[in-house]
């Protein structure tokens, strides 16, 4: 790995233009302490000491891009409720363009409430609808896509299977992006993964990849499974995150396996969103798939050290990479050239 070249890539991270489409969420964090068990049931009583709100889902992907210095147009749906209003306010304060975020009074904003005590998650409460958005809202999103596609370098789809991204929208996106010469990248759920056939890059975690192939994937069959999924999806590149085991990347010519860059995992919430944003920004900044996966793996290693839905900026990535500079390449990743 040529670290000088990696640092040159980081210099080009700012001022990219991205459109993020997908399921938008509000993450709420209630922080407290537990000193007793409830007399009403055998459950801990959490004494609240504070709370915070952060963008989640596709909104977190957009926030990650913004933290890296990109200009972001966000497309999605929120409910006509306090959570939707709060989420939009947070995104606007971050400088994210939310003209493509539409309000649906018939559905709630996806809202995830996590109760944390002594650095441990006690319970998570989800408020959401998984029903498909109306044809009217789907048309509004498609119209926004068509009107703004010429202004962006890449469209990133963050699909959490909450009903916002449907087959019709994806088909239109693929057709219009091809006309405009814009690369499409997706982090889909397995249920609709084959709607994304033929796009540039897909990023999945190990469980999602296993469900997509309908077989259990582990480190022993990872390479063959990844190759098969790459072919079935007819995509240029595939990244499979492996949790505590790191990250793997596949192209039509190569396979790369990269162990984790941290031994301290504090909270994995949103780490996949960081991988998605950093990998895309790396590719737009001149990286090849191997280099993009390497930088994204390094960034994810920093994000999981933080509590909550975290982001990382270029300075944070640079600092993390500087700590690895000089480490033997064989300890950082393994690669194999594939011949088809």
Residues known to be catalytic:
273
**β-bridge mates for residue 17, sequence order:** 71
Strand 154-158 versus strand 183-187 pairing type = parallel
**DSSP codes joined into one string, 251-293:** ESSEEEEE--S-S--S--TTHHHHHHHHHHHHHHTT--HHHHH
CA 15 vs CA 46, 116, 153, 276, 294: distances in Å: 43, 36, 11, 17, 21
C-beta neighbour count of 121 within 10 angstroms: 13
The Cα 92–Cα 297 span in angstroms is 28
CA nearest to 269, candidates 309, 209, 311: 309
Q: Which two tokens stand for residue 157?
A: 């789809």
The Cα 37–Cα 47 span in angstroms is 11
CA 70 vs CA 211, 264, 278, 285: distances in Å: 32, 29, 11, 11
The 3-state DSSP class for residue 72 equals: strand
CA 285 vs CA 99, 127, 261: distances in Å: 26, 37, 22
Strand 71-79 versus strand 237-241 pairing type = unpaired
């Amino acid at each position: 790995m040529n670290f000088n070249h990696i640092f040159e890539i980081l210099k080009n991270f700012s001022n990219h233009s991205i459109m993020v489409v997908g399921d938008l969420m509000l993450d709420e964090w209630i922080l407290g302490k537990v000193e007793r068990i409830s007399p009403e049931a055998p459950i801990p009583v959490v004494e609240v000491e504070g709370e915070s709100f952060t963008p989640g889902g596709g909104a977190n992907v957009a926030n990650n891009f913004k933290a890296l210095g990109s200009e972001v147009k966000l497309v999605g749906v929120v409910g006509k409720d306090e959570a939707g209003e709060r989420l939009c306010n947070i995104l606007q304060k971050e400088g994210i363009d939310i003209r493509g975020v539409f309000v649906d009074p018939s559905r709630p904003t996806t809202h995830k409430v996590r109760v944390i005590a002594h650095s441990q998650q006690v319970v998570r409460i989800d408020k959401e609808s998984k029903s498909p958005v109306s044809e009217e809202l789907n048309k509004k999103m498609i119209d926004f896509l068509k009107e703004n596609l010429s202004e962006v370098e890449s469209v990133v789809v963050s699909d959490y299977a909450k009903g916002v991204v449907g087959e019709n929208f994806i088909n239109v996106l693929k057709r219009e992006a091809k006309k405009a010469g814009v690369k499409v990248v997706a982090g889909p759920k397995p249920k609709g993964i084959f709607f994304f056939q033929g796009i540039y890059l897909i990023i999945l975690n190990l469980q999602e990849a296993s469900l997509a192939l309908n077989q259990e994937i582990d480190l022993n069959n990872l390479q063959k499974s990844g190759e098969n999924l790459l072919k079935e999806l007819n995509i240029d590149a595939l990244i499979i995150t492996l949790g505590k085991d790191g990250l793997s990347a596949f192209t039509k010519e190569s396979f790369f396996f990269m162990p984790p860059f941290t031994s301290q995992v504090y909270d994995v919430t949103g780490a996949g969103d960081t991988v998605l944003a950093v990998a895309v920004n790396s590719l737009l900044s001149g990286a090849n798939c191997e280099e993009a996966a390497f930088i994204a793996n390094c960034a994810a290693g920093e994000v999981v050290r933080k509590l909550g839905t975290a982001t990382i900026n270029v300075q944070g990535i640079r600092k993390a990479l500087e700590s690895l500079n000089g480490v033997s390449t064989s300890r950082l990743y393994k690669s194999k050239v594939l011949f088809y």
